Amino acid sequence: MTRRQLLRHTAWFGAAVVLTVAGGEVISHISGPAEAAATDPLADPHALRFVQVSDSHLGFKGTANTAVEQSFQHAINQVNALPFRPDFVMHTGDLTHLSTPAQFDQVKQMLSHLNTAQTLTVPGEHDSVDDAGHKYRADFGAGAAGDGWYSFDMKGVHFLALVNTLSLEKLGHLGTDQLEFIRKDVAKLSADTPIVVFSHIPLFEMYSAWGWGTDDAVQALSYLRRFSSVTCLNGHVHQLFTKTEGNITFHSATTTAYPLPKPGDGPAPTPVTLPAGKLADALGVREVAYRQGNPGLAVKDVKLA
């Protein structure tokens, strides 16, 4: 290669890099005012900011995590140490492992130490063992409709908290009453309202063979298709997973208790015992932020430090 050719290649390469960086800057600033987009919405005091915690399984005894209460306390401490006070903390189910009164009492006590304006929950199937969710609703169901579902609005976002763990056979199930609730609940909203849906079991088909899906979710999601931004946040699968279907983005959260295998990795979703020192990497909490005018939510999954 001659010196002239080298210079020419270098010039083309340099131009490509400069234009790529400039283009990237332009695209990442398009969705809003330059200054607003440049800052992290989680650092914006005017943004809606909340935390999702999931699958704490208080009362679990096993080698996968011999101290789930300690891990949950760790998660609570981590939320309380955030540089902002969350507008609310949502626990997406399996607060307890066996739904005993003592386990509910303990989880309620521990949740009361969260530094947040509001603590919200949806039930997991472990929160309704043998009693169709009566104890859960007695402790956490105030203000909810039906079997514990509810909705609310905050800072321009409409939230739905659904229950798909009570009538489940293999897959999660919402049921006719809850589907009707969803239909009526969102009918009054304009299509540009950001929607966030909480549920324990995924509303998308993550792995049906292990029950990681909801049999009537398609009906529920059909009511949400007209909205420009829909974010579904779930627990149950004890691992991070993201999927999009048109206007809907699904985010499965990890756990504060113990990991489960990846879909299809083994015969059943039984707790995975990790090598010593590796458990904290599999556990975590999720920070979520929304700034009005932005097209969607910012989701940040953080390991338990």
Q: Residues interacting with other proteins, by CB under 8 A? A: 8-9, 12-13, 15-16, 18-24, 26-28, 30-31, 228-229, 239-247, 249, 252, 295-299, 301
Comparing CA positions, the residue from 228, 233, 225, 227 lying closest to residue 299 is 233
Least separation in angstroms between CB 139 and other proteins: 32
What does the chain look like in DSSP terms, one character per residue? --HHHHHHHHHHHHHHHHHHHHHHHHHHHHTS-HHHHHS-GGG-TTSEEEEEE----BT--STT-S-HHHHHHHHHHHHHTSSS--SEEEE-S--BSS--HHHHHHHHHHHTT--SS-EEE---GGGGTTTTTHHHHHHH-TT-BTTTBEEEEETTEEEEE---SSS-SSSB---HHHHHHHHHHHHTS-TTS-EEEEESS-SS-SBGGGTBSBTTHHHHHHTTTTSS-EEEEE-SSSS-EEEEETTEEEEE--BSS---PPTTSSSS-PPPPPPTT-HHHHBEEEEEEE-TTSSS-EEEEEE--
Residue 31 or 118: the one with the smaller Cβ distance to other proteins is: 31
Least separation in angstroms between CB 206 and other proteins: 9
Least separation in angstroms between CB 248 and other proteins: 9
Least separation in angstroms between CB 289 and other proteins: 10
Least separation in angstroms between CB 23 and other proteins: 3
Residue 105 or 301: the one with the smaller Cβ distance to other proteins is: 301
Residue 266 or 295: the one with the smaller Cβ distance to other proteins is: 295
**What is the number of alpha carbons within 13 Å of residue 287 lying toward its C-beta?**
22
Residue 176 or 244: the one with the smaller Cβ distance to other proteins is: 244
Q: How far is it, in rounded angstroms, from Cα 190 to Cα 188?
A: 7
Least separation in angstroms between CB 229 and other proteins: 7
Residue 86 or 123: the one with the smaller Cβ distance to other proteins is: 86
Least separation in angstroms between CB 51 and other proteins: 16
Least separation in angstroms between CB 16 and other proteins: 6
The pair of structure tokens assigned to 237 is 């699968």
Residue 178 or 239: the one with the smaller Cβ distance to other proteins is: 239
Residue 41 or 211: the one with the smaller Cβ distance to other proteins is: 41
Residue 24 or 101: the one with the smaller Cβ distance to other proteins is: 24
